Amino acid sequence: MGWERSQETPETGGWRTEPATNGSQDGGRAGGRESARERFQPVLTIEHIATLAEVSRSTVSRVLNNHPSVRPTVRERVLQVIREQNYAPQAAARSLASSRTDTIGLLIPRSAAFSLADPFIASMIQALFEASAQQGYFVMLAMLTADMEPGFYDRILRGRHFDGVIMFSSDIDDPILPLLIKDGGPMVLIGRHPYFLNVISVDVENREGAREAVAHLIAHGHRRIGLINGQLEMEAAQARRDGYKQALLESGIAIHADLMVDGLFSEAAAYQAMLKLLDLPQPPTAVFAVSDGMAIGALHAVRQRGLRVPHDIALVGYDDGPLAAYATPPLTSVHQPIRDMGAHAVRLLVEQIRGQGAATSVRIPAHLVVRESCGGGAADSTSAKGGSVLARGAPTPTP
């Protein structure tokens, strides 16, 4: 069923037809098939509605936009015409007239798009879609490559196709973010940005989560601990690397550059990174991978070498997604509450869109869920996904 679209401007309401029903004026279907008249109804404009309702065009426009100045009897007469004619207002045109689209733009910059194989990105997208739907907003997903970025701001963002933007703050040098900040529209970052600290964002305490994971390995006697990190162009990779270093230094353990390798937030790259660690003259006895996807790649590499986790080498990941609980052996991982992060991000954006006071960034404490892959022992409480939780905390707003 194809919709015919009026060429009226947003001011005229931009009406479109709905498909005719069995009770259409030409007598319905002949032989169970729609007639041409049923399939293609004439496009009605705001002037036609005004004529049928015996009111002015501006009155119809006010009714469409629910303006309080229309008398109840007149409003009902216009609405009755709409019902009788079985027409529906075009949402896009009506939203342009009110400068609202009920749509959120979700931007994935080049570094995040490169990492789409990482389950965290896909899970966060799902969480944002669900939270937006609960708030009554649609989501338009835009994945940007380097060659698309120059025109995207001018053609899409400045065109006000969205009421607000949620952006993965993954690429520190991404050129779109400064333009968005200058534009001044509603915006929330997933992940803080090290240079734009005043931009509203939602993030976990990445550094502290990494520090806790490595400290747990140290507590179990490990001194040569490898790090499989993501791209350092991403703030999360920097913070988790710093947490790794902090835990080592706090325990008086020297930092060795050869124990830190790049896994690009990719399972395949992490597989190669783990092989590199295993080929060292003194390979590590434990490895911290800063995402679960990379931890799974590392696990495959260990098996390929005929070794076992955790008997020959301990392994810890980051995210605590579904991969962690169902890995073999189950993976110890730093938990990120992805659904909560998505809900906070959408809430903060909607508050900005609706002008509901000053929004405040949210920081969510990370905690380690201990399972078999690190050879860890008992802990304080048991997680819902079959692990032991070492630490918990409530989300905290930041000034």
- CATH of range 206-336+364-397; options 3.40.190.10, 3.40.50.1860, 3.40.50.2300, 3.30.1360.120: 3.40.50.2300
In the predicted structure, residue 395 carries a pLDDT above the cut 70: no
pLDDT greater at residue 21 or residue 273: 273
Q: What is the pLDDT of residue 40?
A: 39
Phi, psi angles (nearest 5°) of residue 243: -65, -40
Structure tokens belonging to residue 202? 């939602």
Q: Measured over all CA atoms, what is the biggest interatomic distance in the chain, rounded to whole angstroms? A: 89
pLDDT greater at residue 375 or residue 170: 375
In the predicted structure, residue 294 carries a pLDDT above the cut 90: yes
pLDDT greater at residue 137 or residue 145: 137
pLDDT greater at residue 232 or residue 16: 232
Q: What is the pLDDT of residue 384?
A: 37
Structure tokens belonging to residue 204? 């976990």
pLDDT digit string, tens, across residues 56-111: 888 887 887 677 788 999 989 988 888 777 655 554 455 544 567 889 999 987 66
pLDDT greater at residue 174 or residue 372: 372
Q: What is the pLDDT of residue 44?
A: 66
Q: What number is the average pLDDT over the span 365-369?
A: 96
Query: Confidence band (pLDDT; 50, 70, 90) for 276?
Result: very high
CATH number of 10-97: 1.10.260.40
Lowest mean pLDDT among 43-47, 285-289, 307-311: 43-47
In the predicted structure, residue 365 carries a pLDDT above the cut 50: yes
Q: What number is the average pLDDT over the span 202-219?
A: 98
Question: Mean pLDDT score of the chain, rounded to an integer?
Answer: 81
pLDDT digit string, tens, across residues 212-240: 999 999 999 999 999 999 999 889 999 99
Q: What is the pLDDT of residue 43?
A: 56
User: What's the whole-model pTM score?
Assistant: 0.72
pLDDT digit string, tens, across residues 315-335: 999 999 988 999 999 999 999
pLDDT digit string, tens, across residues 25-47: 444 444 444 443 344 345 567 77
Burial 186-209 (b: 16+ CB within 10 A, else e): bbbbbbbbeeeeebbbbbbbbbbb
In the predicted structure, residue 49 carries a pLDDT above the cut 90: no
pLDDT greater at residue 381 or residue 369: 369
Q: What is the pLDDT of residue 212?
A: 98
- CATH of range 103-203+340-359; options 2.30.110.10, 2.60.120.560, 3.40.50.2300, 3.30.450.40: 3.40.50.2300
Q: What is the pLDDT of residue 339?
A: 96
The residue ranges of every structural domain in the chain are 10-97, 103-203+340-359, 206-336+364-397
pLDDT digit string, tens, across residues 330-351: 999 999 999 999 999 999 999 9
Question: With contact defined as beta carbons under 8 Å apart, do 288 and 226 qualify?
Answer: yes
Lowest mean pLDDT among 15-24, 34-43, 288-297, 360-369: 15-24
Query: Confidence band (pLDDT; 50, 70, 90) for 288?
Result: very high
Share of residues in the chain with pLDDT > 90 (%): 51
Q: What is the pLDDT of residue 209?
A: 98
Q: What is the pLDDT of residue 50?
A: 85
Are the folds of 10-97 and 103-203+340-359 the same?
Answer: no
Q: What is the pLDDT of residue 41?
A: 47
Question: With contact defined as beta carbons under 8 Å apart, do 178 and 155 qualify?
Answer: no
Residue partners of 54: CB distance under 8 A and separation at least 6: 77
